[in-house]
Amino acid sequence: MKVLKLFLVAYQAAIVIISALFILQVLRAPFDTSPCTVYDWDYIIKVSLIVIPSFVFCLCNVLRLSLPKWSLFESWKGIGSISIVFTILWTCFFGYIRILQAGYVSGGASLANIVAPEARKTAPDLTLNDQSGDTISLSALKGKVVLLDFWGVWCGPCLQKVPKTQDIHDKFRDKGLAVIGIHSSFRTEGMADFIAQNNITFPIGIDPGRIANDYSVRGWPTYYLIDKQGHIAWGPQHGLPSKGQIQTLLD
């Protein structure tokens, strides 16, 4: 029973910390001036309906269990049961977000719409060296539609989807599409072997440390479509764009 209590305290403390980070990020959102940060406020509100109560009740229960002599919680007889309910809800919801919403399983194309031309923001420029030693520059690709693929060899879903990015490259490279793979600056060992073993031919470079931040990448894989004028037409998304979406921008 003591072990179970310690586990509950540790797990709910983790919920408190992760929830607090989410809440701080939401509070920071109105002050974020990044040119390509996209906030889905309907989605954030729905997540908050689980995250905020979980934070409150789990924090109270952690304090109750850690400080049993603290008189503040003497009359809160139901706080333990309430916190367990929100622990279960938070766990299920967090699993749903990470598995189904953040690209942690392979899936089809994203259903997100192409942004209307008048609402598109200028894509931050990027420059990096690809696997052949050539320099890749987004500004040099004006007149082409560009697909950015943020990925890493440490990310299982990324490894599943890079071959699909290769398929898109093969289908559209002669029609005006340029694909750029941007490997995370984290754990780059094994990247060259993966590229060679899977016959990946589109240019891939290692993020020098700022590109993912410039594009507000919060999870891997993340994809963007840049239109011919250098504006963000689609993304960030964790699923690849459909061929129809790409063709729309090419047309």
Q: For the segment 29-64, what is each residue's pLDDT rounded down to a tens digit? A: 666 554 444 455 666 777 788 889 999 999 988 888
- Helix, strand, coil percentages (3-state) for the chain, rounded to 5, are 50, 15, 35
Q: Is the CA virtual torsion 53, 84, 58, 95 positive or negative?
A: negative
CA dist 219 and 147 (Å) reads 17
More confident residue, 150 or 93: 150
Q: What is the DSSP letter of 130?
A: B
End-to-end CA distance of the chain: 65
Total residue length of the chain: 251
Report the pLDDT value the prediction gives residue 173, as an integer from 0 to 100: 93
Would the pLDDT of 169 be above 90?
yes
CA dist 90 and 96 (Å) reads 10
More confident residue, 47 or 139: 139
Q: What's the pTM value of the predicted model, to 2 decimals?
A: 0.61
CA dist 229 and 81 (Å) reads 56
Would the pLDDT of 130 be above 80?
yes
CA dist 46 and 55 (Å) reads 15
How sure is the predictor about 100, in pLDDT bands with cuts at 50, 70 and 90? very low
CA angle 202, 195, 203 (to 5 degrees): 20
How sure is the predictor about 228, in pLDDT bands with cuts at 50, 70 and 90? very high
* Minimum mean pLDDT range among 3-12, 43-52, 70-79, 194-203: 70-79
**Phi and psi at residue 222, to the nearest 5°:** -135, 140
Range list of H helices, the chain: 2-28, 41-66, 79-96, 156-172, 191-197, 211-214, 243-250
Report the pLDDT value the prediction gives residue 67, as an integer from 0 to 100: 80
Burial 111-141, CB ≥16 within 10 A → b, else e? ebebbeeeebeebbebebebbeeeebebeeb
Average pLDDT of the chain, as a whole number:
84
* Minimum mean pLDDT range among 23-27, 102-106, 224-228: 102-106
What is the number of alpha carbons within 13 Å of residue 242 lying toward its C-beta? 10
Report the pLDDT value the prediction gives residue 243, as an integer from 0 to 100: 87
Tell me, rounded to whole angstroms, the distance of Cα 64 from its chain centroid: 35
More confident residue, 13 or 31: 13
Stretch 105-119: mean pLDDT: 66
Report the pLDDT value the prediction gives residue 199, as an integer from 0 to 100: 93
More confident residue, 14 or 112: 14
Distances from the Cα of 102 to the Cα of 19, 47, 237, angstroms: 17, 14, 8
Report the pLDDT value the prediction gives residue 239, as an integer from 0 to 100: 85
